[in-house]
Structure 1
Amino acid sequence: MVYSQRRSPESRRLVLSLLLFTAWEAGSGQVHYSVPEEAKHGTFVGRIAQDLGLELAELVPRLFRVASKGRGDLLEVNLQNGILFVNSRIDREELCGRSLECSIHLEVIVDRPLQIFHVEVEVKDINDNPPRFFRQEQRLFILESRIADSRFPLEGASDMDIGTNAELRYKLNANEYFDLDVKTNEEETNFLELVLKKPVDREETQEHRLLLIATDGGKPELTGTVQLLINVLDANDNAPEFDKSIYKVRLLENAPNGTLVIRLNASDADEGINKEIVYLFSDLVLDNVKSKFTINSNSGEITVKGELDYEDCNLYEINIDAVDKSSFPLTGHCKVIVKILDENDNTPELVITSLSLPVQEDAPLGTVIALISLSDHDSGVNGQVTCTLSPHVPFKLVSTFKNYYSLVLDNSLDRESESNYTLVVTARDGGSPSLSATARVSVEVADVNDNAPAFPQPEYTVFVKENNPPGCHIFTVSAWDADAQENARVSYSLVERRVGERALSSYVSVHAESGKVYALQPLDHEELELLQFQVSARDAGVPPLGSNVTLQVFVLDENDNAPALLPPGAARGAGAVSELVSRSVGAGHVVAKVRAVDADSGYNAWLSFELQPAAGGGRSPFRVGLYTGEISTTRALDEADAPRQRLLVLVKDHGEPALTATATVLLSLVESGQAPKASSRASVGSASAETALVDVNVYLIIAICAVSSLLVLTLLLYTALRCSAPPTEGACGTGKPRLVCSSAVGSWSYSQQRRQKVCSGEGQPKMDLMAFSPSIPQGPISADNVSLKNLIRSSFSSSLILNI
């Protein structure tokens, strides 16, 4: 704050501290300074950074800046020491005219976090304007017959300063005929009259020259002068006289042309032509007054001629002369003071300055978004402006200073719910009727990474045939992120883990952008029936967010393994089985058994046995069980049968195409006495085993029939629930549908359509079931019927998905 040089440094600091503390407490963070007008460049105004509680080191990083509406760069801040100083010439009269109060309002803005301070710098008036007369010379005409104490109005001076600097005193240079009388009216303007001290004599002096001096009350005093030229006219008895010397009129601004201001009336005591009066504007009336008003010379009516605007001028002084029509006319004088009354004819003006757009959706409550400044050229109630906001949610207006508002955040934001707000700011004055102005503010909400990528479902079931080509596309995962731009850009990756002794990434990979999952190598159902892993989706936000989805990849079996013969036949090499058979055995006697297994599952592991025709074309006395592999006699043996029988048994699975293996059975026919005793024991054991196996098969048949009945009931229920849903092709590779197949030992069922639906990812994961219903063939069976056991075991171990 700038003070007079007459204060000591200690007193200046004390007063400065007290004033700053008072201004800070009263203004809630607003600081008041003062500076005289016409101060030189660099003049100290105040330690603004210190008074606002800001550290000097943070001025530059926090983008400290000062804004002044319409004031240019009159004041500036040194960012090195935080001092506010005068930057260019300040002319109080240019800024505020004759207004008693004149201040420069500064907005101090700092970022990180955003803070706004209001600083008011009062501009003190100095006596830099001398009194000025509008004319260099004033001419008066006075009849020599005018008596002493006659009065003649004079035009006063004006001073652009205010207060004491504008208080004017007048004096007239010394002379013997004239004196000066100064009066002050209610509007505190001076009314000057030239007073005749003694009659003048035209024959003695026709012209008098006087000097009128105006002096203001400033220190130092300034003066202005005007030359008074007085012409003395020949005698005239009576001059016209008005009822009053001063008339006061109130008139609304914007009064239309032709509106009557006042009707003047002057009277003259003379007779005849000397009594007839003409009304005229005095020579003292300025041209701008003549452009607003006109006078009827005969009636004395003053009417509006031009546009009256309270904001341009609110007071007019009109000097009127009433002149009679004598050859030597006499003149009467009066003054009409027209006071213009304000009307609400100016719409409020508002200026919106955006500071923080777009707004982060996680911005804290109270964040300042924009500054709003209001103004109205009207005065009084007509110039009092209020500001409202619609809609209010999630923002509000906070009054920070006179005619200044801040648009602040009042509620939390969510860009995913609303990404842009259009606010209407309305400024309304207090006039009747009131006038208003509106402005629209578009507030964009900037995205922050507050949404993780989301998968449509937490788990997918995928079916892939074994022996797939390397790099085969088996599935595509897709996640959606509700955020925008980088925060919504999703990338995919595997959640690495160990599958046995190998890393998951050696089996499958996922494309980072498309989410396509590839099988990197051929999969083997016999090695890996189920591969379960997770795919992670991560967005590109900072910090990134993510989620996982589980993929269950079922490896479907293909017929890629041929039947393999089991010991003891296999142990002897080349699939040969050698047995001794007594010629005394009857029909249906089991003499040998071919054992075989298949590494595949389901149909592909279901084996059947066929006896190849003999090389000689004769009918063999032996047969082989279709699904048991047991070789038995078809009739009693006789002497005609060759002592060595070579049988070829073809073992074939049910795959497409079927794979086979060949077993050679060598039978040696011997007499009953030569057959080993073990044969009889084996025969007895075979009979007991046969009985045990029949008992076991009864239980198996009951269990399998129960499972098959449950399967049929489930299929019927499923078909009823899903018959209205059209089939959809799945995402994995297509395969040839397998229908229901029946045989002598039972049936297998497989739903290709259901498999496709599961692969496509529709709905929750399902469970398929492959059911086998055996029908035991007629005839004796061996106790070690490996093929039947293998078939029953594989029927329960093979499973696909069935909707339950």
Structure 2
Amino acid sequence: MAVLRRDSLGTGQLLRLVLLHMAWEVGSGQVRYSLPEESKHGTFVGRLAQDLGLEVSELVPRMFRMVSKGRGDYFEVNLQSGVLFVNSRIDREEVCGQSPLCAIDLEVIVDKPLRIFHVEVEIQDINDNAPVFSVNEKYLSIAESRLPDSRFPLEGAFDADIGTNSLLTYKLSPNEYFTLDLQKNDEHSDGLVLVLKKPLDREETHVHYLLLISTDGGKPELTGTVQLVITVLDVNDNAPVFNQSVYKIRLFENAANGTLVIKLNATDLDEGINKDISYSFSSFVPLSGRDVFTIEPNTGEIRIKGQLDFEKNKVYDLQIQADDKGNLPLSGHCKVLIDVLDVNDNTPELAVTSLFLPVPEDAPPGTVVALISVSDRDSGDNGKVTCSIPPDLPFQLVSTFKNYHSLVLAEAVDRERVSEYKILVTARDEGAPSLSASSSILVPIADVNDNAPAFPQPVYTVFVKENNRPGAHLLSVSASDPDVRENAFVSYSVVERSVGEQQPVSSYISVHSESGHIYGLQPFDYEELQVLQFQVSARDAGFPSLCGNVTVQLFVLDENDNAPAVSPPGSGRGSPGPELVPLSAGAGHVVGKVRAVDADSGYNAWLRYEVQEAGAAGPFRVGVYSGEISTTRALEEADGPSQRLVILVKDHGEPALSATATVSLSLVESPQAVKWDSRQRVGSEEPLVDMNVSLTIAICSLSGLFVLVIVVYVGLRCHPGPEVMCGPGKATVVCSSEVGSWSYSQRQSRNLCVGEGTAKNDLMVFSPSVPHSAENRDEKLLVMASNVCGTVSERLLHFQNICIICVTEHSFSKYASSVWMWILKFYMIFLILNDLYFPHEYGV
């Protein structure tokens, strides 16, 4: 049974144990076991998990595995107990040959976290091979004339074991003529010589049969035998003799065929035919030597005829025999020892033993990607190998154990930047010239969900006319995700929020989850909703999922879908009936006003007043934009007691919508009635002079107030404060027309109250399409100022909003220098005071 080498007998073994312990400490995670060869299957080797510091319960969850390079599956680990045992028979001579140290290197790998342990199992030799001779019978011919102490070399036995198991001793069966002599000829082999003790007598015994026995040093001892058949020859009593018994030659393994190794020379003291010598390899020369070398029989030249290979055979031991040509030929013997010198003729070998692919792109630096083993069959510097990879890769090679290297991640990788790496591993030896070998490793990078969907723009803007068809496609949004597979599958949804009176956004629009198409679920009404701002979310299908949002601004464009609404002329003062017009009224006397409002905005809400039948207007006319009815000349009795005017109110939409209002005018002669009515409406009986004084005071007060407003505004411009907004901000809608563009201010939008308390949020800032000029702005402001409802509240609000437009949309200093603006301001003040003190019917 194999045991962990912990027994120590003797000083030598104690020292070996200490050195083994030091190697254990230096080699991180290295364990060494000893095991006799020929151990049976299931033989206990060691408690591997315990010796490596691993818990047995961790072996399966941590994917415990063992790798053995080029040695077969000799060992196995029981994952239930952590015991290393023999899996198949191990023949030390088959695994390591004659190497004095035989060890099988194992590599143990566990995951979570990844660790690599190196285990070395030394295979101990047992005496399982008996000495073996190359032949069963050896025939020798010895002349009877040979003198005592003549020596005849013999081929020794071969024992495949090592150490003491291969130490051979020889003995010869008892006889009176021969003895054995074992000599140390050199550092390569021993010389076994048969020595003649006394002269032979052919007439007495012509053949001698001897048994040569070889015994090894193992316990128990094993033996091998060969039968020596010695024939005694007569006459030719001088054998050829070489000038030295051993020749030593050194050759490089790249020596070419036909190269002369050595020329041997043997001499024979005989004369004539007995002196002629023929050279040959003795029967002791193995086939490996005969395949590589050849000897010329007549000259004794030894030449190369095959390929020398240092990695196959480092030393050749050639036994040379010189035979004379006598009737009874005699032989002389010598030994040629050829040392083969290594040259760098073998390229390094690369082998990838384990791959851990693909590599997640969020793998931390230090993650092991592959295990690589390198080897070189050459020796010395020719067999020293270094490994390298290109420097511009996020990987590095780390030497782990002997000729093993780990390819580890050196820095973070990004699959969206590089999806896979082709790593060229180069192994180069230190020979001169050096040789190299390369192997490519394809390392794919696995995707993780590290990129959120992204839209190409932060805001989408879409313009939709009101009264759109339900279910109509409004626009499409698209987000991209550089990840792959489910991590890049994007679905869209609307981010829910409330709009207006707690109406959810999803009641207005819907988003197709796959295509990103946005559809309107209901018709939009500009009069209710001008701007709908919402967010669309794009979410991928990764785990955990990531999302990105984009803002969509949907601007509802007004259409002319509301006709003007006309209120009765007398409704402004609360008493319906015909308008009373004094016959004494002169040209330009205002007798009444038509009030109308349009729910639309911009040009669609810009109203125009005209008499439907111009020929039936008589001495009256209507203001095109104000709706005021005034006289065109002095009234006459011929004009009749009453007039009936049909006023047509049209907006500027395309197509234009209109409404009509019928105004009845009664001509009266008594100015007292009008004066009485005027006093009743104003609620004052003061003389007209007092009214004029009051009018003057009011004008001065308003002028001073106006100057104060300017000063306060300049101060606020120097110290800006928070803006007060009546509606949602940051909205822009542009509708082009032939005279300019009506647009919402990008800074703020305000509510404008028109008529008798009717609120409208369609106050527009007029921005002409042509370059801005003071004349164009003033002209448009005058047009807007003229479109008033006729009451004090209306004109106050119009004047207030016109001032706000001038302050917020344009530089106030530009308008302050405009004469038209000053005329507009005082004209508005005049209109306001006129409404306060005088009825429209009687003028000023």
TM class by shorter chain equals 0.7 to 0.9
C-alpha displacement at 1:452, in angstroms?
Answer: 2.4
Residue 22 and residue 49 in structure 1: after superposition, are their counterparts in 2 closer, same or farther (change >3 A)?
Answer: farther
Whichever residue aligns with residue 628 of structure 1, its letter is S
How far apart are residue 534 of structure 1 and its match? Answer: 1.8
CA–CA separation in structure 1 for the residues paired with 2:314 and 2:787: 132
CA contact (8 A) 2:139 2:231 kept: yes
Are residues 1:579 and 2:584 paired? no
Separation in structure 2 between the aligned mates of residue 418 and residue 779 of structure 1, nearest angstrom: 69
Name the structure 2 match of 1:205: 205
Partner of 2:503: 502
Instruction: Measure how far apart 1:695 and its partner are.
Output: 11
Letter in 1 for 2:791: D
Q: Give structure 1 stretches of 5+ with no counterpart.
A: 9-13, 703-733, 742-747, 755-766
Match of 2:722 in 1: none
- Name the stretch that deviates more: 290-299 or 639-648: 639-648
Partner of 1:299: 299
Matches within 5 A, 1:688-727: none
Aligned residue in 1 for 2:556: 555
1:739 to partner: Cα distance: 3.5
From 665, 668, 676, the equivalent of 2:666 is 668
CA positional deviation for 1:532: 1.8
TM-score normalized by the length of structure 2: 0.80
Per-residue CA shift, 1:234-268, capped at 9, x if unaligned? Answer: 12232211111222222222322211111111112
Whichever residue aligns with residue 650 of structure 1, its letter is L
Alignment of 1:454-533 (within 5 A): 454-500=454-500, 501-533=502-534
The one-letter amino acid paired with 1:740 is E
How far the C-alpha of 1:450 sits from its partner, in A, is: 2.3
Amino acid across the alignment from 1:143: A
Conserved 8 A contact 2:572-2:791: no
Relative to structure 1, the CA distance from residue 545 to residue 521 in structure 2 (aligned partners, 3 Å threshold; closer, same or farther) is same
State the alpha-carbon separation in 1 of the partners of residues 446 and 360 from structure 2. 5
The amino acid of 1:579's aligned partner reads E
| Structure-2 residue corresponding to 1:248 | 248
1:23 touches 1:31 (CA, 8 Å); kept in 2?
no
The 5 A counterparts of 1:623-772 are 623-672=621-670, 675-681=673-679, 738-741=736-739, 748-749=740-741, 769=767
Asked whether the 8 Å contact 1:50–1:82 carries over to 2, the reply is yes
- Name the stretch that deviates more: 784-793 or 543-552: 784-793
Name the SS for the 2:389 alignment partner. Answer: strand
Do the aligned residues in 2 keep the contact of 1:490 with 1:513 (CA within 8 Å)?
A: yes
Q: CA deviation at 1:350?
A: 0.7
**Conserved in 1, the CA contact under 8 Å of 2:243 and 2:266?**
yes
After superposition, the C-alpha distances for 1:356-399 in whole angstroms (9 at most, x for unaligned) are 22222221111111111011122232222221222354211111
Note the C-alpha offset of 1:601. 1.2
Q: Give the counterpart letter for 1:647 in structure 2.
A: L
Q: Give the C-alpha shift of residue 548 in structure 1.
A: 2.1
Q: Does the Cα contact within 8 Å between 2:741 and 2:766 map onto a contact in 1?
A: no
| Alignment check: 8 A CA contact 2:616 2:645 kept | no
Aligned ranges 1:3-82 → 2 under 5 Å: 3=3, 22-82=22-82
C-alpha distance 268-21 of structure 1, shift in aligned 2 (>3 A): closer
Between the aligned partners of 1:490 and 1:156, the Cα distance in structure 2 is: 84
| Aligned: 1:784 with 2:796 | no
CA deviations over 1:438-471 (Å, ceiling 9, x no partner): 1122222222222223333323333222222112
* Alignment-mate amino acid for residue 553 of structure 1: L
Tell me which amino acid in the other structure corresponds to 1:630.
Answer: E
Deviation at 1:188, TM superposition (A): 4.5
Letter of the aligned partner of 1:398 in structure 2?
V
Q: Deviations over 1:289-348 (max 9, x none)?
A: 222221112211111122222222222222222222222222212122222222221111
Check 1:768–1:197 CA distance in 2 against 1; reply closer, same or farther (3 A cut). farther
Q: How far apart are the structure 2 equivalents of 1:777 and 1:409?
A: 74
Give, as a single letter, the amino acid of the residue that structure 1 aligns with 2:281. F
Counterpart of 2:411 in structure 1 is: 411
Shift of 1:775: 4.9
For structure 2, list consecutive stretches of 5 or more residues without a partner in the other structure. Answer: 9-13, 683-687, 708-732, 747-764, 769-776, 812-844
Q: Note if contact 2:108-2:118 (Cα within 8 Å) is conserved in structure 1.
A: yes
For the 8 Å contact 2:398–2:406, the answer to whether it is kept is yes
The aligned counterpart of 1:111 is 111
Once the 2 structures are TM-superposed, how far is the Cα of residue 127 of structure 1 from its aligned partner?
0.8
TM-score by length of 1: 0.84
Pair 1:473–1:277, CA change in 2 (3 A): same
CA shift in 2, pair 1:350/1:6, >3 Å:
closer
Matches of 1:44 and 1:285, distance apart in 2 = 43
Shift of 1:774: 4.5
Secondary structure of the 1:604 match is helix
**How does 1:187-198 map onto structure 2 within 5 Å?**
187-198=187-198
- Please tell me the residue identity of whatever aligns with 1:535: V
TM-aligned CA distance change 1:779 to 1:402, over 3 Å:
closer
Q: Provide the aligned C-alpha RMSD in A.
A: 3.9
Contact kept in structure 2, 1:629 and 1:785, CA below 8 Å: no
Written as runs of structure 1 = structure 2, the 5 A alignment for 1:244-393 is 244-391=244-391, 393=393
Distance 2:670 2:238 in 1: 186
CA distance in 2, matches of 1:230, 1:202: 11
Question: Deviation digits for residues 209-236 of structure 1, max 9, x if unmatched?
Answer: 1111111111111111111111111122
In 2, the alpha carbon distance for the partners of 1:401 and 1:6 equals 24
Whichever residue aligns with residue 156 of structure 1, its letter is G
TM-aligned CA deviation for residue 87 of structure 1 = 0.6
1:597, 1:787 within 8 Å by CA — same for their partners in 2?
no
State the SS of the aligned residue for 1:640. Answer: helix
Question: For 1:779 and 1:636, how far apart are their aligned partners in 2?
Answer: 24
Structure 1 residue 7 displacement after superposition: 6.7
Gap change, CA 1:405 and 1:41, over 3 Å in 2: same
Matched with 2:567 is 566
Contact 1:652 1:659 in 2 (8 A): yes
**Contact 2:318 2:335 (8 Å CA) reproduced:** yes
Provide the identity percentage.
62
Deviation of 1:54 (Å): 1.7
Query: CA distance change for structure 1 residues 171 and 787 in 2, over 3 Å: closer, same or farther?
Result: same
Q: Describe the shift of the 1:37–1:776 C-alpha distance in structure 2 as closer, same or farther (beyond 3 A).
A: closer
The correspondence for 2:780, drawn from 770, 773, 776, is 773
2: CA distance, partners of 1:22 / 1:64? 26
Q: How far did residue 798 of structure 1 move?
A: 11
Tell me the CA shift for residue 692 of structure 1.
12
Whole-Å Cα distance in 2 between the matches of residues 781 and 330 of structure 1? Answer: 151
Give CA deviations for 1:150-187 in whole Å, capped at 9, x if unaligned.
Answer: 11111111111111111111111111111111112332
Q: Structure 1 201/590 Cα, relative in aligned 2: closer, same or farther at 3 Å? A: same
Letter in 1 for 2:178: F
| 1:254–1:768 distance in 2 versus 1, CA, 3 Å | farther
Which segment is superposed worse, 332-341 or 18-27? 18-27
Secondary structure of 2:639 counterpart: coil
Retained in 2: the 8 A contact 1:20–1:31?
A: no
C-alpha change, 1:460 and 1:697, in structure 2 (3 Å) is farther
1:708 corresponding residue in structure 2: none
Q: Tell me, yes or no, if structure 1 residue 84 matches structure 2 residue 84.
A: yes
Instruction: State the number of aligned residues.
Output: 744
> Offset of 1:136 from its aligned partner?
1.1
